A and B are shown apart, each in its own frame.
With several copies, the nearest count.
Chain A
Amino acid sequence: MAAGPYSEKVMDHFMNPRNVGEIESADGVGEVGNPACGDMMRLYLKIDEGMVVDAKFRTFGCGAAIASSSMLTEMIKGKTVDEARAITNQHVADALDGLPAVKIHCSVMAEQAVKSALDDYAKKHAG
Protein backbone atom coordinates (compact mmCIF):
# COMPACT_ATOMS: atom_id res chain seq x y z
CA MET A 1 0.00 0.00 0.00
CA ALA A 2 1.95 2.94 -1.30
CA ALA A 3 0.41 6.04 0.13
CA GLY A 4 1.82 9.48 0.13
CA PRO A 5 4.43 10.69 -2.24
CA TYR A 6 6.74 7.74 -1.69
CA SER A 7 7.41 4.31 -3.15
CA GLU A 8 6.18 1.26 -1.28
CA LYS A 9 9.77 0.51 -0.29
CA VAL A 10 10.17 3.93 1.27
CA MET A 11 6.87 3.57 3.08
CA ASP A 12 7.84 0.15 4.37
CA HIS A 13 11.13 1.42 5.77
CA PHE A 14 9.43 4.50 7.13
CA MET A 15 6.64 2.60 8.86
CA ASN A 16 8.85 -0.26 10.01
CA PRO A 17 12.31 1.13 10.26
CA ARG A 18 15.08 -1.43 10.76
CA ASN A 19 17.83 -0.93 13.33
CA VAL A 20 16.46 2.01 15.24
CA GLY A 21 18.39 2.60 18.41
CA GLU A 22 21.76 3.21 19.91
CA ILE A 23 24.88 1.08 20.18
CA GLU A 24 26.52 1.51 23.58
CA SER A 25 30.25 2.10 23.15
CA ALA A 26 29.97 2.16 19.40
CA ASP A 27 33.16 2.03 17.36
CA GLY A 28 32.05 4.92 15.21
CA VAL A 29 29.31 7.51 15.52
CA GLY A 30 28.33 9.89 12.78
CA GLU A 31 25.93 12.75 12.99
CA VAL A 32 24.77 14.91 10.10
CA GLY A 33 22.02 17.41 9.51
CA ASN A 34 20.32 19.85 11.78
CA PRO A 35 16.80 19.89 13.12
CA ALA A 36 16.49 23.52 12.07
CA CYS A 37 16.81 22.31 8.51
CA GLY A 38 14.25 19.60 9.13
CA ASP A 39 16.51 16.53 9.31
CA MET A 40 19.11 15.09 11.61
CA MET A 41 20.60 11.61 11.46
CA ARG A 42 22.81 9.87 13.99
CA LEU A 43 24.45 6.62 13.01
CA TYR A 44 26.16 4.12 15.35
CA LEU A 45 28.51 1.46 14.00
CA LYS A 46 29.98 -1.62 15.60
CA ILE A 47 33.04 -2.62 13.65
CA ASP A 48 34.94 -5.81 14.02
CA GLU A 49 38.00 -6.79 11.99
CA GLY A 50 37.19 -4.24 9.33
CA MET A 51 33.59 -5.40 9.08
CA VAL A 52 30.46 -3.48 9.98
CA VAL A 53 28.91 -6.02 12.31
CA ASP A 54 26.14 -3.83 13.60
CA ALA A 55 24.54 -0.48 12.71
CA LYS A 56 21.84 1.46 14.45
CA PHE A 57 20.38 4.91 13.92
CA ARG A 58 18.24 7.59 15.34
CA THR A 59 16.78 10.06 12.89
CA PHE A 60 14.71 13.12 13.20
CA GLY A 61 13.15 13.99 9.89
CA CYS A 62 10.73 13.32 7.10
CA GLY A 63 9.67 9.98 5.72
CA ALA A 64 12.52 9.89 3.25
CA ALA A 65 15.07 10.67 5.95
CA ILE A 66 13.87 7.85 8.18
CA ALA A 67 13.61 5.39 5.30
CA SER A 68 17.07 6.34 4.02
CA SER A 69 18.53 5.79 7.47
CA SER A 70 16.83 2.44 7.82
CA MET A 71 17.87 1.29 4.36
CA LEU A 72 21.42 2.47 4.93
CA THR A 73 21.83 0.39 8.10
CA GLU A 74 20.55 -2.64 6.22
CA MET A 75 22.96 -2.04 3.37
CA ILE A 76 26.11 -1.61 5.41
CA LYS A 77 25.65 -4.43 7.87
CA GLY A 78 28.05 -7.18 6.92
CA LYS A 79 30.03 -4.96 4.60
CA THR A 80 33.70 -4.12 5.00
CA VAL A 81 34.62 -0.62 6.02
CA ASP A 82 35.79 0.10 2.50
CA GLU A 83 32.62 -1.26 0.96
CA ALA A 84 30.54 0.80 3.37
CA ARG A 85 32.48 3.91 2.51
CA ALA A 86 31.81 3.31 -1.17
CA ILE A 87 28.07 3.56 -0.72
CA THR A 88 26.64 6.65 -2.43
CA ASN A 89 23.35 8.42 -2.07
CA GLN A 90 22.35 6.96 -5.41
CA HIS A 91 22.76 3.44 -4.03
CA VAL A 92 20.50 4.30 -1.13
CA ALA A 93 17.91 5.99 -3.33
CA ASP A 94 17.94 3.09 -5.78
CA ALA A 95 17.55 0.56 -2.99
CA LEU A 96 14.44 2.50 -1.95
CA ASP A 97 13.04 2.33 -5.49
CA GLY A 98 13.75 6.01 -5.89
CA LEU A 99 13.01 9.16 -3.98
CA PRO A 100 11.13 12.28 -5.09
CA ALA A 101 13.53 14.87 -6.51
CA VAL A 102 13.16 17.18 -3.56
CA LYS A 103 13.98 14.36 -1.18
CA ILE A 104 17.29 13.34 -2.72
CA HIS A 105 19.06 15.26 0.02
CA CYS A 106 17.85 12.63 2.49
CA SER A 107 19.83 9.94 0.72
CA VAL A 108 22.78 12.32 0.60
CA MET A 109 22.48 12.65 4.35
CA ALA A 110 22.65 8.86 4.67
CA GLU A 111 25.81 8.76 2.59
CA GLN A 112 27.33 11.52 4.69
CA ALA A 113 26.31 9.80 7.92
CA VAL A 114 28.15 6.61 7.10
CA LYS A 115 31.24 8.53 5.99
CA SER A 116 31.10 10.60 9.14
CA ALA A 117 30.78 7.49 11.33
CA LEU A 118 33.66 5.79 9.51
CA ASP A 119 35.78 8.91 9.92
CA ASP A 120 35.02 8.80 13.62
CA TYR A 121 35.98 5.13 13.69
CA ALA A 122 39.22 5.85 11.82
CA LYS A 123 40.06 8.66 14.20
CA LYS A 124 39.40 6.51 17.27
CA HIS A 125 41.44 3.66 15.86
CA ALA A 126 44.15 5.78 14.33
CA GLY A 127 46.63 5.00 17.14
Chain B
Amino acid sequence: MTKAFFDHISTTPLDPRVFEAMRPYFFDRYGNPSSHIHDQGQAAVRAVDQARAEVAALIGAKAGEIVFTSGATESNNLAVLGAAEGAGAGKRRVVVSDVEHFSVMNALIPLRNAGYEVTVLPVDRNGVVDPDAVRKALRADTALLSVMHANSEIGTIEPVGQIGQIAKEAGVTFHVDATASAGHIPVDVREIPADLVTLSAHNFYGPKGAGALYLREGTKVAPRTFGGFQEMGYRAGTENVPAVVGMGAAAILAGREMGAWAEHLSRLGKTLWDGLAAIPMLHYTGHPSERLPGHVSFWVEHVEGESLLLFLNMKGVMAASGSACSSNLRGHDEEDLVASPVLRAIGVPSDICTGSITFSLGKGNTADEVRLALDALPGIVDRLRAMSPTYLDYQKRQVKGG
Protein backbone atom coordinates (compact mmCIF):
# COMPACT_ATOMS: atom_id res chain seq x y z
CA MET B 1 0.00 0.00 0.00
CA THR B 2 1.22 3.50 -0.77
CA LYS B 3 1.87 5.39 2.43
CA ALA B 4 1.82 9.13 2.56
CA PHE B 5 3.19 10.98 5.56
CA PHE B 6 1.59 14.40 5.91
CA ASP B 7 2.53 15.06 9.53
CA HIS B 8 5.85 16.83 9.08
CA ILE B 9 4.88 19.40 11.65
CA SER B 10 5.19 16.72 14.35
CA THR B 11 8.54 15.54 13.06
CA THR B 12 10.40 15.09 9.80
CA PRO B 13 12.34 12.13 8.44
CA LEU B 14 16.08 12.60 8.76
CA ASP B 15 17.72 13.72 5.52
CA PRO B 16 20.18 10.97 4.55
CA ARG B 17 22.87 13.60 4.08
CA VAL B 18 22.35 14.70 7.66
CA PHE B 19 22.70 11.12 8.78
CA GLU B 20 25.99 10.80 6.93
CA ALA B 21 27.28 13.89 8.72
CA MET B 22 26.29 12.37 12.07
CA ARG B 23 27.58 8.87 11.49
CA PRO B 24 31.28 9.41 12.37
CA TYR B 25 30.24 10.81 15.73
CA PHE B 26 28.64 7.52 16.65
CA PHE B 27 31.81 5.60 15.84
CA ASP B 28 35.23 7.09 15.27
CA ARG B 29 34.60 10.36 17.04
CA TYR B 30 32.69 9.48 20.14
CA GLY B 31 34.45 11.81 22.58
CA ASN B 32 32.92 14.01 25.23
CA PRO B 33 33.68 17.69 24.54
CA SER B 34 34.41 18.23 28.23
CA SER B 35 37.30 15.78 27.93
CA HIS B 36 39.06 18.17 25.58
CA ILE B 37 42.46 17.25 26.92
CA HIS B 38 42.76 14.41 24.44
CA ASP B 39 42.17 13.89 20.74
CA GLN B 40 38.74 12.29 21.15
CA GLY B 41 37.49 15.16 23.27
CA GLN B 42 39.00 17.71 20.93
CA ALA B 43 37.28 16.20 17.92
CA ALA B 44 34.00 16.56 19.81
CA VAL B 45 34.77 20.16 20.73
CA ARG B 46 35.49 21.02 17.12
CA ALA B 47 32.32 19.28 15.96
CA VAL B 48 30.11 21.15 18.40
CA ASP B 49 31.80 24.47 17.60
CA GLN B 50 31.30 23.90 13.89
CA ALA B 51 27.65 22.96 14.36
CA ARG B 52 27.16 26.07 16.43
CA ALA B 53 28.46 28.20 13.58
CA GLU B 54 26.26 26.34 11.08
CA VAL B 55 23.09 26.79 13.11
CA ALA B 56 23.98 30.42 13.72
CA ALA B 57 24.40 30.95 9.98
CA LEU B 58 20.89 29.67 9.29
CA ILE B 59 19.41 32.56 11.27
CA GLY B 60 22.02 35.25 10.69
CA ALA B 61 23.39 35.01 14.23
CA LYS B 62 26.90 34.74 15.67
CA ALA B 63 28.07 31.31 16.79
CA GLY B 64 28.42 32.50 20.38
CA GLU B 65 24.73 33.34 20.45
CA ILE B 66 23.60 29.73 19.97
CA VAL B 67 22.98 27.47 22.95
CA PHE B 68 22.27 23.83 22.17
CA THR B 69 19.49 22.09 24.08
CA SER B 70 17.71 18.75 23.86
CA GLY B 71 14.86 20.22 21.81
CA ALA B 72 12.25 22.90 21.34
CA THR B 73 10.48 22.26 24.62
CA GLU B 74 13.67 22.75 26.59
CA SER B 75 14.51 25.85 24.54
CA ASN B 76 11.06 27.33 25.11
CA ASN B 77 11.22 26.57 28.83
CA LEU B 78 14.68 28.10 29.07
CA ALA B 79 13.56 31.17 27.14
CA VAL B 80 10.40 31.78 29.15
CA LEU B 81 11.51 30.78 32.63
CA GLY B 82 15.13 31.80 32.18
CA ALA B 83 14.29 35.24 30.82
CA ALA B 84 11.67 35.84 33.51
CA GLU B 85 14.20 34.99 36.19
CA GLY B 86 16.98 36.80 34.36
CA ALA B 87 14.95 40.01 34.05
CA GLY B 88 15.43 40.57 37.73
CA ALA B 89 13.27 41.96 40.49
CA GLY B 90 10.57 44.41 39.52
CA LYS B 91 9.83 42.77 36.18
CA ARG B 92 7.01 40.44 37.04
CA ARG B 93 4.88 40.42 33.92
CA VAL B 94 4.94 38.11 30.94
CA VAL B 95 2.99 38.61 27.72
CA VAL B 96 2.25 35.74 25.32
CA SER B 97 -0.05 35.15 22.39
CA ASP B 98 -3.10 32.95 22.75
CA VAL B 99 -1.78 30.39 20.25
CA GLU B 100 1.59 29.51 21.77
CA HIS B 101 2.63 25.89 22.05
CA PHE B 102 2.19 24.04 25.34
CA SER B 103 5.91 24.33 26.01
CA VAL B 104 5.43 28.09 26.27
CA MET B 105 1.93 28.05 27.77
CA ASN B 106 2.65 25.48 30.44
CA ALA B 107 5.92 27.17 31.38
CA LEU B 108 3.67 29.99 32.60
CA ILE B 109 2.27 27.75 35.34
CA PRO B 110 5.30 28.02 37.63
CA LEU B 111 5.52 31.73 36.82
CA ARG B 112 1.90 32.30 37.81
CA ASN B 113 2.55 30.30 40.97
CA ALA B 114 5.49 32.56 41.70
CA GLY B 115 3.25 35.60 41.44
CA TYR B 116 3.93 36.73 37.89
CA GLU B 117 1.13 38.40 36.02
CA VAL B 118 0.45 36.83 32.63
CA THR B 119 -1.20 38.68 29.77
CA VAL B 120 -2.50 36.58 26.91
CA LEU B 121 -2.84 38.39 23.60
CA PRO B 122 -5.88 37.45 21.52
CA VAL B 123 -5.58 36.54 17.85
CA ASP B 124 -7.95 37.25 15.00
CA ARG B 125 -9.88 34.54 13.18
CA ASN B 126 -6.86 33.82 11.02
CA GLY B 127 -4.79 33.32 14.13
CA VAL B 128 -2.83 36.54 13.73
CA VAL B 129 -1.64 38.56 16.71
CA ASP B 130 -2.42 42.25 16.40
CA PRO B 131 0.74 44.35 16.74
CA ASP B 132 -1.30 47.14 18.26
CA ALA B 133 -2.47 44.83 21.01
CA VAL B 134 1.19 44.02 21.66
CA ARG B 135 2.02 47.71 21.91
CA LYS B 136 -0.70 48.21 24.49
CA ALA B 137 0.27 45.16 26.51
CA LEU B 138 3.95 45.98 26.97
CA ARG B 139 4.93 47.93 30.05
CA ALA B 140 8.06 48.89 31.90
CA ASP B 141 7.65 45.93 34.22
CA THR B 142 7.24 43.37 31.41
CA ALA B 143 9.96 40.76 31.65
CA LEU B 144 9.18 38.95 28.43
CA LEU B 145 7.04 38.87 25.32
CA SER B 146 6.69 35.50 23.59
CA VAL B 147 5.07 35.16 20.18
CA MET B 148 5.66 32.18 17.93
CA HIS B 149 6.82 32.59 14.37
CA ALA B 150 4.51 30.04 12.75
CA ASN B 151 1.72 28.06 14.29
CA SER B 152 2.01 24.31 13.87
CA GLU B 153 -1.71 23.65 14.01
CA ILE B 154 -3.10 26.28 11.65
CA GLY B 155 0.05 27.29 9.79
CA THR B 156 -0.32 31.04 10.30
CA ILE B 157 2.86 33.10 10.19
CA GLU B 158 2.88 35.87 12.77
CA PRO B 159 4.22 39.36 12.02
CA VAL B 160 7.18 38.84 14.36
CA GLY B 161 9.31 41.44 12.59
CA GLN B 162 6.83 44.16 13.35
CA ILE B 163 6.07 42.83 16.82
CA GLY B 164 9.78 42.62 17.59
CA GLN B 165 10.22 46.25 16.64
CA ILE B 166 7.53 47.18 19.14
CA ALA B 167 9.17 45.07 21.83
CA LYS B 168 12.53 46.63 21.09
CA GLU B 169 11.11 50.13 21.41
CA ALA B 170 9.47 49.15 24.68
CA GLY B 171 12.70 47.60 25.94
CA VAL B 172 11.05 44.23 26.47
CA THR B 173 12.89 40.93 25.86
CA PHE B 174 11.26 39.20 22.90
CA HIS B 175 11.13 35.44 22.45
CA VAL B 176 10.11 33.83 19.17
CA ASP B 177 9.30 30.12 19.02
CA ALA B 178 10.49 29.32 15.49
CA THR B 179 10.12 25.55 15.88
CA ALA B 180 7.65 25.28 13.02
CA SER B 181 9.24 27.88 10.76
CA ALA B 182 13.02 27.58 11.01
CA GLY B 183 14.44 25.68 8.09
CA HIS B 184 11.25 26.17 6.10
CA ILE B 185 10.97 29.91 5.68
CA PRO B 186 13.66 32.53 6.37
CA VAL B 187 14.24 33.30 10.04
CA ASP B 188 16.85 36.01 10.31
CA VAL B 189 17.64 37.74 13.57
CA ARG B 190 19.00 40.71 11.65
CA GLU B 191 15.49 41.27 10.37
CA ILE B 192 13.41 39.97 13.26
CA PRO B 193 14.47 41.92 16.33
CA ALA B 194 14.10 38.92 18.63
CA ASP B 195 16.30 38.43 21.67
CA LEU B 196 15.54 34.73 21.99
CA VAL B 197 14.64 32.27 19.24
CA THR B 198 13.76 28.60 19.65
CA LEU B 199 14.89 26.13 16.98
CA SER B 200 14.34 22.40 16.71
CA ALA B 201 16.40 20.10 14.49
CA HIS B 202 13.85 17.32 14.03
CA ASN B 203 11.44 19.82 12.53
CA PHE B 204 13.71 20.49 9.54
CA TYR B 205 15.02 17.07 8.55
CA GLY B 206 17.53 16.95 11.38
CA PRO B 207 17.67 14.52 14.28
CA LYS B 208 15.52 14.34 17.38
CA GLY B 209 17.40 15.27 20.54
CA ALA B 210 18.85 18.57 19.36
CA GLY B 211 17.36 22.00 19.68
CA ALA B 212 18.85 25.42 20.10
CA LEU B 213 18.09 28.69 21.73
CA TYR B 214 19.42 31.81 20.11
CA LEU B 215 20.35 34.39 22.73
CA ARG B 216 21.08 37.80 21.34
CA GLU B 217 24.27 39.17 22.90
CA GLY B 218 23.46 40.86 26.17
CA THR B 219 20.18 39.07 26.77
CA LYS B 220 19.89 37.97 30.37
CA VAL B 221 18.73 34.40 30.84
CA ALA B 222 19.13 32.38 34.02
CA PRO B 223 20.10 28.75 33.42
CA ARG B 224 17.71 25.99 34.35
CA THR B 225 20.08 23.03 34.25
CA PHE B 226 22.81 22.76 36.82
CA GLY B 227 26.00 20.77 36.59
CA GLY B 228 29.11 21.02 34.46
CA PHE B 229 30.01 24.14 32.55
CA GLN B 230 28.76 23.28 29.08
CA GLU B 231 27.09 25.63 26.60
CA MET B 232 28.65 28.76 28.06
CA GLY B 233 26.98 27.98 31.36
CA TYR B 234 23.44 28.11 29.99
CA ARG B 235 22.92 24.36 29.81
CA ALA B 236 24.75 21.73 31.82
CA GLY B 237 25.13 18.16 30.63
CA THR B 238 27.23 16.29 28.11
CA GLU B 239 26.40 17.57 24.65
CA ASN B 240 24.53 15.18 22.38
CA VAL B 241 27.35 15.44 19.87
CA PRO B 242 25.91 13.40 16.96
CA ALA B 243 22.57 15.20 17.24
CA VAL B 244 24.21 18.59 17.46
CA VAL B 245 26.32 17.76 14.41
CA GLY B 246 23.13 16.67 12.66
CA MET B 247 21.44 19.93 13.54
CA GLY B 248 24.36 21.79 11.98
CA ALA B 249 24.19 19.68 8.83
CA ALA B 250 20.42 20.13 8.62
CA ALA B 251 20.87 23.88 9.04
CA ILE B 252 23.28 23.99 6.11
CA LEU B 253 20.89 22.03 3.90
CA ALA B 254 17.91 24.11 4.90
CA GLY B 255 19.78 27.34 4.32
CA ARG B 256 20.72 26.18 0.86
CA GLU B 257 17.56 24.39 -0.23
CA MET B 258 14.60 25.83 1.63
CA GLY B 259 13.59 27.96 -1.32
CA ALA B 260 13.27 24.93 -3.56
CA TRP B 261 11.51 22.97 -0.84
CA ALA B 262 9.02 25.78 -0.28
CA GLU B 263 8.24 25.97 -3.97
CA HIS B 264 7.56 22.23 -4.15
CA LEU B 265 5.50 22.31 -0.97
CA SER B 266 3.47 25.30 -2.02
CA ARG B 267 2.59 23.63 -5.30
CA LEU B 268 1.51 20.39 -3.62
CA GLY B 269 -0.22 22.31 -0.87
CA LYS B 270 -2.26 24.24 -3.39
CA THR B 271 -3.39 21.00 -5.05
CA LEU B 272 -4.50 19.71 -1.68
CA TRP B 273 -6.15 22.95 -0.66
CA ASP B 274 -8.03 23.23 -3.94
CA GLY B 275 -9.09 19.59 -3.86
CA LEU B 276 -10.54 19.92 -0.39
CA ALA B 277 -12.99 22.53 -1.64
CA ALA B 278 -15.08 19.66 -3.01
CA ILE B 279 -15.97 18.57 0.52
CA PRO B 280 -19.07 20.38 1.75
CA MET B 281 -18.94 22.18 5.06
CA LEU B 282 -15.18 22.01 5.26
CA HIS B 283 -13.59 25.08 6.81
CA TYR B 284 -9.97 26.03 6.30
CA THR B 285 -8.13 27.36 9.35
CA GLY B 286 -5.30 29.84 9.61
CA HIS B 287 -4.30 32.67 7.37
CA PRO B 288 -5.08 32.06 3.68
CA SER B 289 -1.75 33.42 2.41
CA GLU B 290 0.55 34.17 5.35
CA ARG B 291 1.11 30.52 6.14
CA LEU B 292 3.76 27.83 6.14
CA PRO B 293 4.37 26.32 2.70
CA GLY B 294 2.70 22.94 2.35
CA HIS B 295 0.60 23.43 5.46
CA VAL B 296 -3.12 22.83 4.96
CA SER B 297 -5.42 22.83 7.96
CA PHE B 298 -9.16 22.67 8.32
CA TRP B 299 -12.10 21.26 10.21
CA VAL B 300 -15.17 19.53 8.91
CA GLU B 301 -18.65 20.00 10.28
CA HIS B 302 -20.24 16.86 11.70
CA VAL B 303 -17.00 14.93 11.53
CA GLU B 304 -14.96 14.17 14.59
CA GLY B 305 -11.25 14.62 14.01
CA GLU B 306 -9.82 11.43 15.44
CA SER B 307 -12.19 9.21 13.51
CA LEU B 308 -11.28 10.97 10.32
CA LEU B 309 -7.59 10.54 11.01
CA LEU B 310 -7.95 6.86 11.88
CA PHE B 311 -9.76 6.17 8.62
CA LEU B 312 -7.17 8.16 6.71
CA ASN B 313 -4.42 6.14 8.33
CA MET B 314 -6.16 2.97 7.23
CA LYS B 315 -5.90 4.28 3.70
CA GLY B 316 -2.19 4.96 4.20
CA VAL B 317 -2.59 8.69 4.71
CA MET B 318 -0.96 10.03 7.86
CA ALA B 319 -2.15 13.42 9.02
CA ALA B 320 -2.62 14.89 12.47
CA SER B 321 -4.97 16.82 14.64
CA GLY B 322 -3.31 20.10 15.41
CA SER B 323 -0.30 19.99 17.60
CA ALA B 324 1.07 16.53 18.22
CA CYS B 325 1.37 17.34 21.86
CA SER B 326 -2.24 18.27 22.31
CA SER B 327 -3.40 14.94 21.03
CA ASN B 328 -1.57 12.76 23.47
CA LEU B 329 -3.93 9.90 24.02
CA ARG B 330 -1.86 8.71 26.87
CA GLY B 331 -1.99 12.07 28.56
CA HIS B 332 -4.40 13.58 30.98
CA ASP B 333 -8.03 13.36 30.06
CA GLU B 334 -8.76 17.00 29.89
CA GLU B 335 -6.33 17.80 27.14
CA ASP B 336 -7.96 15.20 25.05
CA LEU B 337 -11.54 16.09 25.66
CA VAL B 338 -11.53 19.76 25.00
CA ALA B 339 -11.37 21.23 21.57
CA SER B 340 -7.96 22.48 20.50
CA PRO B 341 -7.00 25.65 22.37
CA VAL B 342 -5.82 27.14 19.09
CA LEU B 343 -9.24 26.63 17.45
CA ARG B 344 -10.84 28.17 20.50
CA ALA B 345 -8.43 31.09 20.18
CA ILE B 346 -9.42 31.72 16.56
CA GLY B 347 -13.06 31.63 17.54
CA VAL B 348 -14.25 28.36 16.03
CA PRO B 349 -17.51 27.50 17.80
CA SER B 350 -16.86 24.42 19.90
CA ASP B 351 -20.28 22.90 19.38
CA ILE B 352 -19.69 22.45 15.69
CA CYS B 353 -15.95 22.24 15.66
CA THR B 354 -14.92 18.84 16.55
CA GLY B 355 -11.38 18.49 15.57
CA SER B 356 -8.71 20.28 13.78
CA ILE B 357 -7.04 18.46 10.91
CA THR B 358 -3.53 19.40 9.86
CA PHE B 359 -1.81 18.22 6.72
CA SER B 360 1.83 19.28 6.88
CA LEU B 361 3.66 18.32 3.73
CA GLY B 362 7.35 17.54 3.51
CA LYS B 363 9.98 17.84 0.82
CA GLY B 364 9.65 14.14 0.06
CA ASN B 365 5.92 14.18 -0.63
CA THR B 366 4.65 13.68 -4.18
CA ALA B 367 1.63 14.69 -6.19
CA ASP B 368 0.49 11.05 -6.14
CA GLU B 369 0.46 11.09 -2.39
CA VAL B 370 -1.66 14.20 -2.36
CA ARG B 371 -4.00 12.50 -4.83
CA LEU B 372 -4.25 9.54 -2.45
CA ALA B 373 -5.43 11.86 0.30
CA LEU B 374 -7.89 13.67 -1.93
CA ASP B 375 -9.30 10.40 -3.17
CA ALA B 376 -9.77 9.06 0.33
CA LEU B 377 -11.23 12.04 2.08
CA PRO B 378 -14.75 12.46 0.60
CA GLY B 379 -15.70 8.84 1.25
CA ILE B 380 -14.49 9.00 4.82
CA VAL B 381 -16.36 12.21 5.48
CA ASP B 382 -19.54 10.70 4.03
CA ARG B 383 -19.15 7.55 6.04
CA LEU B 384 -18.63 9.38 9.33
CA ARG B 385 -21.48 11.76 8.64
CA ALA B 386 -23.76 8.86 7.89
CA MET B 387 -23.04 7.61 11.37
CA SER B 388 -23.43 10.96 13.07
CA PRO B 389 -26.59 11.93 14.95
CA THR B 390 -25.74 15.60 14.54
CA TYR B 391 -25.59 15.25 10.78
CA LEU B 392 -28.91 13.43 10.78
CA ASP B 393 -30.46 16.31 12.73
CA TYR B 394 -28.86 18.79 10.39
CA GLN B 395 -30.32 17.01 7.36
CA LYS B 396 -33.75 16.94 8.92
CA ARG B 397 -33.49 20.65 9.63
CA GLN B 398 -32.50 21.20 5.99
CA VAL B 399 -35.45 19.23 4.73
CA LYS B 400 -37.84 21.13 6.98
CA GLY B 401 -36.30 24.47 6.09
CA GLY B 402 -36.30 23.69 2.35
Please say whether the chains A and B touch (CB closer than 8 A).
Answer: yes
A residues near B (Cβ < 8 Å) are 3-5, 11, 14-15, 17, 20, 22, 31, 34-42, 58-63, 65-66, 100-103, 105
- Give the distance to chain B from A51, nearest Cβ to Cβ, in Å: 25
A103 engages B350 (CB within 8 Å): no
Complex interface: chain A residues within 8 A of B314 (CB): 3, 15
B333 engages A58 (CB within 8 Å): no
Known A60-B302, A105-B333: A36·B351 in contact at CB below 8 Å:
yes
- Give the distance to chain B from A110, nearest Cβ to Cβ, in Å: 14
Q: Mind listing 13 A-B residue pairs with CB under 8 Å?
A: A4-B36, A4-B313, A14-B310, A22-B392, A31-B389, A34-B351, A39-B304, A40-B388, A42-B389, A60-B354, A60-B387, A61-B304, A102-B329
- Give the distance to chain A from B328, nearest Cβ to Cβ, in Å: 8
A62 engages B388 (CB within 8 Å): no
**Besides the contacts A35-B304, A60-B390, what 4 more A-B pairs have beta carbons closer than 8 Å?**
A4-B310, A5-B329, A20-B387, A59-B388
3 closest Cβ pairs, A-B complex: A62-B306, A58-B389, A42-B389
Complex interface: chain B residues within 8 A of A36 (CB): 339, 350-351
Total inter-chain residue pairs, C-beta < 8 Å: 90
**What total of chain B residues lie within 8 Å of the partner, measured CB to CB?**
35
A101 to B337 Cα, complex, angstroms: 13
A37 engages B337 (CB within 8 Å): yes
Does residue B267 face the partner (Cβ distance < 8 Å to A)? no
Known A35-B352, A102-B332: A62·B304 in contact at CB below 8 Å:
yes
B307 engages A102 (CB within 8 Å): no
Does residue B38 face the partner (Cβ distance < 8 Å to A)? yes
Complex interface: chain A residues within 8 A of B310 (CB): 3-4, 11, 14, 63
A101 to B386 Cα, complex, angstroms: 28
A61 to B329 Cα, complex, angstroms: 14
**CB-CB contacts of B350-368 with A at 8 A, as 1s and 0s?**
1110110000000000000
**CB-CB contacts of B327-351 with A at 8 A, as 1s and 0s?**
0011111001111000000000011
Does residue B399 face the partner (Cβ distance < 8 Å to A)? no
Does residue B39 face the partner (Cβ distance < 8 Å to A)? yes
Complex interface: chain A residues within 8 A of B333 (CB): 102, 105
Does residue B42 face the partner (Cβ distance < 8 Å to A)? yes
Complex interface: chain B residues within 8 A of A66 (CB): 307, 387
A34 to B354 Cα, complex, angstroms: 10
Q: Which of A14, A62, A100 has the most CB of B within 10 A?
A: A62
Known A35-B352, A105-B337: A3·B313 in contact at CB below 8 Å:
yes
* A38 partner, pick from B38, B311, B339, B388, beta carbons under 8 A: B339
- Give the distance to chain B from A103, nearest Cβ to Cβ, in Å: 7
B306 engages A63 (CB within 8 Å): yes
In B285-314, the 8 Å CB interface with A consists of 302, 304, 306-307, 310-311, 313-314
B42 engages A40 (CB within 8 Å): no
* B307 partner, pick from A14, A58, A103, beta carbons under 8 A: A14
Complex interface: chain A residues within 8 A of B42 (CB): 3-5
B387 engages A17 (CB within 8 Å): yes
- Give the distance to chain A from B84, nearest Cβ to Cβ, in Å: 29
A62 to B321 Cα, complex, angstroms: 12
Complex interface: chain B residues within 8 A of A40 (CB): 388-390
- Give the distance to chain A from B306, nearest Cβ to Cβ, in Å: 4
- Give the distance to chain A from B337, nearest Cβ to Cβ, in Å: 6
A39 to B339 Cα, complex, angstroms: 11
B304 engages A60 (CB within 8 Å): yes
* A101 partner, pick from B45, B330, B355, B388, beta carbons under 8 A: B330
A60 to B386 Cα, complex, angstroms: 10
Does residue B114 face the partner (Cβ distance < 8 Å to A)? no
B330 engages A100 (CB within 8 Å): yes
B36 engages A63 (CB within 8 Å): no
Does residue B89 face the partner (Cβ distance < 8 Å to A)? no
A37 to B353 Cα, complex, angstroms: 10
B337 engages A100 (CB within 8 Å): no
Complex interface: chain A residues within 8 A of B45 (CB): 5
